Structure formats: C-alpha cells, structure tokens
Amino acid sequence: MLFQLIKKQLLLLWRNPVQIFLLLGLPIILILILSIALAGFMESGSPKLELKVAWLEHEDESEQIERFINEMNALGVPAETFGDSEDMQIITMLREDIFQGEDLQEMIELNVIHEDEKADVLADDSYSGLIEVPENFTYDMLQIISEQGGERPEITLHVNQEDGIYSSVLSQILEQFDENLTTQTFLQQNGLAVDMKEMQAAASAGEQTQINQMEPISSRDYYTVAMAVFTGLYVASTIGFFATRERQDQVFDRIIVGDMSRWLYFLSILISGTIIAFIQLLFLFCFSYFVFQVSFNDILTFLITTISYAIAVGGITVLLTAISYRFKSDAIIGFFSGVVTSILAFIGGSFFPIGELSETIAHLGNLTPNGSGLSAYIQILRGSGLEDVANYLIYMISFGVVMIIVAAMSFPKRGSTR
C-alpha cells in the first residue's frame, strides 16, 4: 500500500506539466541567464602582471671590471682575491639572472635601449619603468667592496606613475638586490668569502613546497549547482500543495476511514519528496553535463551528496504537509514557496557567492540545507573527496531527520483534519 501511495504522488506530478516545467525547465533557464550575466564576476580571478621595462647602461661593464683589475694589479693585490671576472659582473647579474631569470621572465619584458632613446621611452606610456645604470657603477661598487673608498653609486628607476602596482614591483626588486649587494660588501670587507649569485639564489628561491590547489570553477559550474539546490526547495512546496489538495478533497479522510495507518501516508509524502528531489537533481546535472560540460569526477561522492540533499528536501516536504494539515490551511506552504525559499537561496549563495564577503556569512549560509548542499557540490567540482564534504553531508541528513521528527510531532491524529 505504501508503494501505491508513493506512485499516486508521482503520477500527480507527472500529470501537471506546469509544475514539471517549474522544477525542470525553470532551473535550466536560470542557469543560462545567470552564468552568462555574471560570468565576469565569477571568473575575474587575479590579474596577471605584465611589465614592459627599459634598461639603459651608460658604460660597458666589462671595461669597468678590466680597469678595476688593472688598478688592483698595480697596487699588488691579486685579482683572484675578488673572484673571477664573472663574479664581479654586478649589473649583468641584475639584468640577466634577476630581471631575465626564470622567476620573472614571463612577467617582465626587458628592452635594452641606448641613451638617445631615453626621452622616447619616458614619454611612452606602454613602459612601466626605465632602469638607468650610471657611468662607473660597477667600478665604484668594486672600489667600495675592496675598501678603496669612494661614494656608493645608485641605480635610477624612472616609473610610470599611472602603473602604481607595477612601479611597486620594480622598486621591490631593486631594493632586494641592493640589500644583497650591501650584505656582500659587508662580508667582503670583513674577510668573509661570498658568492653574489649564491646569495641571490638563496634570497629568492627558498624552500618550494607543492600544495594541493583546488580546481577553479566557471560561472556555469557554480550556477548549475546553485540553481539545482535552490529549485530543489520547490519540490517541498509542490508536494505540499498536492497533499493539501488531497486534504481538501477528503482523500486523507478516506484513507483513514479505510483503516490505513496515517503513518503510511506520512511516509509516502516523505519518500515522494525525497525521490522527486533526487530525480530533479540528477536530471539537472545530467543536462548540464551534456550541454554545459559540468562534470563531477567523484561520482560516488556526488551520488551520496545528492541523496543527502534529497533527504533534507524530503524532511521539509513532510514538515510543510504536517503543518498545513495541523492548521487546515495551505498558507504556510504559499509563504514557504514565495518568501522562505528566496531567503534561503540568498543566504545559501544561490544568487551569488555571498559567503565570500565574510566567514560569518559563509557559516550562516552553510546552516541552510541548500547552502550546505551548494558548498558540498562546489567542493566536489574542485576535486575534493568524500572525507572533505562529510561534514556537509552529515548536516544535511541531520537537518532532514530533525524536520521529520518535528513533522511527526505535528502530524494530526485520526479525524483531526476535518
């Protein structure tokens, strides 16, 4: 007999094309509209830095190094004291190992220019900055390192004031290099061996650790899930309206008169709501798979999540039915369908990812069944497994159980529905 009651509820829905459209057609239309309209908002991501930088040297570095070595030899200081000539190429190291190194070569386009091009580059807004190396820079730095005296030279950075963030990046790179150069000078002056290239590598590399990054999701991924869990709430009001109509038509009374337990009818409403919600979710996700290429890699976790959310919807369904029977009115179902579902959808993030505004709002959204379901599905889309979404599943099932218990306490006894 329970099977017949469930079949009756399913047939009522099957014979109502308007309700079928609201449960299956409307979500697809909403997915299309929202995923296209809010694609820029969802997929903006982090901006990629691309800097165009000009490089101007006023004197060849190799000539400065040769001049320094000749002077040291004249003073009786062997050139080997300061390493080979490559170790003295301070500017070459800055240009080739840092600005054109592996870490920055994809971010920085470095163009070496001549002095007669300087004015044109400064007037060109496409350049984020101009690095200008003065005459005798390397020679003067080697003089300071060898304690021969002299003033410390400075590299000049001309920045495009309109590119604030790019200017900041260039300034930080040069400041880091200057700090390493100062450290090298101090160590050299105190008789400590130092390799500038090794120092720079140690400062920039550090320990690299691979982390498990979550897969990004598109706006269609997000709104497929968001609209699926949102419209899933309408299953509860749809079945609730059918049950209320049966009360008004005295179908429930005839069931009671036929000496059938009211709990069979109670279970039929619960199971019908759960089954229809499950079928609706599968239909929407299958449609999105073929049309929008929205796919879940972990099918088992996906099915368990879908069942968990369907149980939560089934609990809401039977609770709405019990309350409407208790108060002999379908006003509560209309209020849920017109007001409560919209509030739950807003808090749960079905309209846009409101949880990104703050952790408090995100936690509040996860306390709604649709918000918890949305979070679970999004985690699965990003590559998480069953253990990562277990807390959402437990909450949805627990929510459904609580709704069922409250509904059982509210469900009227024999003859109290007249």
User: pTM for this one?
Assistant: 0.60
Q: Are residues 233 and 298 in the same domain?
A: yes
Q: Are residues 12 and 121 in the same domain?
A: no
Domain count, the chain: 2
Q: Are residues 128 and 232 in the same domain?
A: no
Amino acid 401: pLDDT = 95
Is the CA virtual torsion 332, 333, 339, 341 positive or negative? positive
Give the Cβ contact number of residue 156 at 10 Å: 11
Of 175, 191, 207, the one marking the end of a domain is: 207
Of 159, 177, 207, the one marking the end of a domain is: 207
- Per-residue pLDDT of 51-67, as tens digits, reads 788 888 888 888 888 88
% of the chain surpassing 70 pLDDT? 79
Q: Are residues 219 and 179 in the same domain?
A: no
Low-confidence ranges of the chain (pLDDT < 50): 44-47, 196-197, 199-212, 415-418
Q: Are residues 193 and 114 in the same domain?
A: yes
Structural domain includes residue 13: yes
Structural domain includes residue 34: yes
Structural domain includes residue 415: no
Q: Are residues 244 and 389 in the same domain?
A: yes
Q: Are residues 267 and 403 in the same domain?
A: yes
Q: Are residues 36 and 74 in the same domain?
A: no
Q: Which H, E and C letters describe the chain, residue by residue?
A: CHHHHHHHHHHHHHCCHHHHHHHHHHHHHHHHHHHHHCHHHHCCCCCCCCEEEEEEECCCHHHHHHHHHHHHHHCCCCHHHHCCHHHHCHHHHHHHHHHCCCCCCCCEEEEEECHHHHHHHHHCCCCCEEEEECCCHHHHHHHHHCCCCCCCCCCEEEECCCCHHHHHHHHHHHHHHHHHHHHHHHHHHCCCCCCHHHHHHHHHCCCCCCCCCCCCCCHHHHHHHHHHHHHHHHHHHHHHHHHHHHHHCCHHHHHHHCCCCHHHHHHHHHHHHHHHHHHHHHHHHHHHHHHCCCCCCCHHHHHHHHHHHHHHHHHHHHHHHHHHHHHCCCHHHHHHHHHHHHHHHHHHCCCCCHHHHCHHHHHHHHCCHHHHHHHHHHHHHCCCCHHHHHHHHHHHHHHHHHHHHHHHHHCCCCCCCC
Amino acid 253: pLDDT = 65
Structural domain includes residue 416: no
Structural domain includes residue 417: no
Q: Are residues 159 and 232 in the same domain?
A: no
Q: Are residues 84 and 19 in the same domain?
A: no
Structural domain includes residue 170: yes
Amino acid 104: pLDDT = 73
Please give the Cα distance from 287 to 283 (Å, whole number).
Answer: 6
Amino acid 39: pLDDT = 58
Q: Are residues 137 and 61 in the same domain?
A: yes
Structural domain includes residue 175: yes
Q: Are residues 30 and 165 in the same domain?
A: no
Structural domain includes residue 290: yes
Of 207, 226, 245, the one marking the end of a domain is: 207
Amino acid 402: pLDDT = 94
Amino acid 65: pLDDT = 81
Amino acid 185: pLDDT = 62
Amino acid 359: pLDDT = 79
Range of the domain at 318: 2-44+213-410
